[in-house]
Amino acid sequence: MAKRFEKLHEIWGKIKYFIKLDITTKSLIFVGLFLAILSILLISTAPQRYDISVGDIAVEDIFAPSDLVDKTATELKMRAAEEAVQAVYKLDRTVQIDIQKKIETFFNLLTEIKGIADIDENQRVQLMVQQSNIGLDQSYYKTLLNADLGELNKLKDKILYIINQLLNENIEEAKINDKREAIKEFFDNLPEDSKLNKLGSNIAIIIIKPNMFYDEATTSAQREEARENVEEVIIKKDSQIITKGQEVTAHQIQLLQSFGLLNNSRSQIIAFRLYAGYSMSIIVGLFILGLYCYLYAKKQWENNSELFLIGLTILLSLIVAAGAKSISVYLILLPAFTMVISIMIQPKIAIITNTICAVFISMITGINATVLVAMLIAGIAGALLVHKTHHRSTIVLAGLVISIISVMIIISFGLLYNSDTRIMLTNAVFGFVGGILSAVLTIGTLPFFEATFDIITPIKLLELSNPNQPLLRRLLIEASGTYYHSILVGNLAEAAAEEIGANSLLCRIGAYYHDIGKLKRPYFFKENQITKDNPHDKITPNLSTLIITSHVKDGIDLATKNKLPSSIINIIREHHGNTLVAYFYHKALNSEAADTITEEKFRYSFPRPQSKESAIVMLADSVEAYIRSLSEPTQHQVELGVKKIIKEKLQDDQLDESDITLRDLDKVAKAFVKVLAGIFHDRIEYPETLKDI
């Protein structure tokens, strides 16, 4: 746990340093990239705005720039659905029981008062008025009190009958008058016509009431559910909002306002939100890219040229996507630029860049999930397939794989979303074409990027290895000894580079060109001297040293003139470092002017190797020259010679700036011996071990 915390603390420290880092060039690159991406997104997605009002006659067709929910139409649908829901009523079964009790109580009271003997009729009527639970006219009470008990019981039964009949049904407040009419009709249709029947009708009409009551909570819940079940009215992208020559309605103006298509303050607010949203997305994307390069790709972080290349490919991918969407959003060309970064820089940065670009392009194409997933997966596949590719045919194969992946994703999403088959297949065709065009675009743009940013790729290196290249052909014809020497140095360097994880192809091709400066005076170099006559015997050691050391400058001039990549030129410049031309230095010491001799005059005046590749070529060059000087090389001589050369370079501090380790040098020595054993196999045996240098 403690180690994990320390690691997190270390990473956080790097992040804080990264945030505070003030590098003018890098700042300009990232700020410029931010502004350029923002401009592309706004230009490709910001809609045209119109000056138009309700009642105006439209002078052009206006289409929806994106999908949008029509809130007005949706609200109308919701209201219609809500109103279609009937009010919910709840049955109250206690109403019937309460009415029955009320009727029984009324007639019991009537019977009780009727049976009181010591009061007169008026007193009985007054008692009924005071104690009755049904409000009737006094004349009605008088009639009821004068009726005999049998008639009263019959009347009670009739009232209970009709009430129970009606209350067996659901009676809402709105239907109560209909039920009262039914009561009146019932009593009117009785065979006997009497005042008591009329009284019974009045009593029943007064006492009847609804047994169904409005359930507000349930009704509200059902209406809310009906609203929620209404599908939103979507104005689809590119659907026509206003037709040319049509009178503009308030609803259409509202839609234009929602889309931000009107020239007013509301549209300015929408535009500001668009700027803010894009800006935050771009800042996050670029921060992740920069942070990754700073933490895990130091070489790229320290190389402003490569950072600029990454930025340029991002911009080009967005520009191409913005143009391609007018044909089809499924014409996916992002993998082309992802493959360029993978080939020229490294696949991990290509994958990070692909992810960021996929998000930006999805904004340009309307946040299409299918396009986004296709770009992510196809781009990652392309970055992995072309990593360290040596042949352009590999790029073509990668393009075919990208096409197949794009088609599979488009069809799979189409099946999941139940898309129209014809549309799905059309989109798949565009996806397939996009993969093929990505390969073509990659092959077509690679030479431009290589020349512009001076970044060498395996493909370019293989082109430079062709013997028909002008400089190599000249070397073969004009300085054949140097040519074969360079081929052998290339074999030694390549084998050594593979052992320590350096760029083996760069080592081999760099070795092919490291001595091209000898073309200027080929016969001043031992390997090109056919006869025993040596021109150096006729000149002073100082002049000989000047001629020998000048082959480096001559090589740089030739390489620059022939537009060789800087990585090759660096090997030419550094393959001798500032080593001593020992032979002529000692020859000068033995001359008459020995007292005036200084070592500095007999040293190469060039930088020491700055990379592992330059260091390997230096060692391979010296080892090959040493072995060539032996008349009959034996196993022991080769082994000691390799160790001797490496030890001398170490002691002369020639390898101090190349970032090569002692462990690397041990592997380099073994690789040299192994290659030389294959060349001189008839004279030496492969050594079992090499002692430490």
245 class by beta-carbon count within 10 Å (0-12 exposed, 13-18 middle, 19+ buried): exposed
State the pLDDT at residue 81: 86
pLDDT digits (tens, 9 = 90+) for 294-326: 999 988 888 888 899 999 999 999 999 998 988
3-state secondary structure of 90: strand
CA distances from residue 221 to 84, 212, 216, 224, 426 in whole angstroms, order as listed: 13, 19, 9, 5, 46
pLDDT digits (tens, 9 = 90+) for 423-470: 999 999 999 999 999 999 999 998 888 888 888 888 888 889 999 999
pLDDT exceeds 90 at position 338 = yes
Who contacts 562 (Cβ-Cβ below 8 Å, separation ≥6)? Answer: 470, 471
State the pLDDT at residue 19: 44
CA–CA separation, 222 and 82 (whole Å)? 8
Q: Could you tell me which residue, 68 or 363, shows the higher pLDDT?
A: 363
The CATH number corresponding to 460-679 among 1.10.3470, 1.10.3210, 1.10.10, 1.20.1440 equals 1.10.3210
pLDDT digits (tens, 9 = 90+) for 286-302: 999 999 999 999 888 88
Determine the residue type at 654: Q
Give the side-chain half-sphere CA count within 13 A for 622.
24
Rounded to a whole number, what is the distance in angstroms from the first to the last CA of the chain? 41
State the pLDDT at residue 693: 35
Determine the residue type at 44: S
C-alpha 633, offset from chain centre: 61
Helix axes 24-45, 304-324, angle to 10 degrees: 0
Domain limits, CATH 1.10.3210, in the chain: 460-679
Q: Tokens for 240?
A: 């026509």
pLDDT digits (tens, 9 = 90+) for 393-434: 899 999 999 999 999 999 999 998 888 889 999 999 999 999
State the pLDDT at residue 265: 57
Q: What are phi and psi of 132, to 5 degrees?
A: -70, 145
Round the average pLDDT of the chain to a whole number and report it.
Answer: 85
State the pLDDT at residue 506: 94
CA distances from residue 474 to 479, 501, 519, 571 in whole angstroms, order as listed: 7, 32, 8, 19
Q: Tokens for 276?
A: 């803010």
The confidence band for 689, taking pLDDT boundaries of 50, 70 and 90, is: very low
Question: Worst-scoring range by mean pLDDT, 334-348, 405-419, 676-690?
Answer: 676-690
The confidence band for 73, taking pLDDT boundaries of 50, 70 and 90, is: confident
Question: Worst-scoring range by mean pLDDT, 60-74, 436-450, 476-490, 507-521?
Answer: 60-74
Given its phi and psi angles, is residue 604 left (phi above 0), alpha (psi -120 to 50 degrees) or beta?
A: beta
The confidence band for 218, taking pLDDT boundaries of 50, 70 and 90, is: confident
Q: What are phi and psi of 171, to 5 degrees?
A: -110, 115
CA–CA separation, 632 and 638 (whole Å)? 10
State the pLDDT at residue 629: 82
Pick the closest to residue 289 from 275, 319, 309, 274 (CA basis).
309
CA–CA separation, 173 and 163 (whole Å)? 16
State the pLDDT at residue 399: 93
Q: Which residue has the tokens 């709105």?
A: 174
pLDDT exceeds 90 at position 569 = yes
Pick the closest to residue 297 from 369, 263, 345 (CA basis).
345
CA–CA separation, 97 and 93 (whole Å)? 7
Averaged pLDDT, 533-560: 88
Averaged pLDDT, 508-525: 92
CA–CA separation, 622 and 645 (whole Å)? 7
pLDDT digits (tens, 9 = 90+) for 33-48: 999 999 998 888 766 6
What are the DSSP calls for 143-189, one per residue?
A: HHHHS-HHHHHHHHHHHHHHHHHHHTS---GGGHHHHHHHHHHHHHT
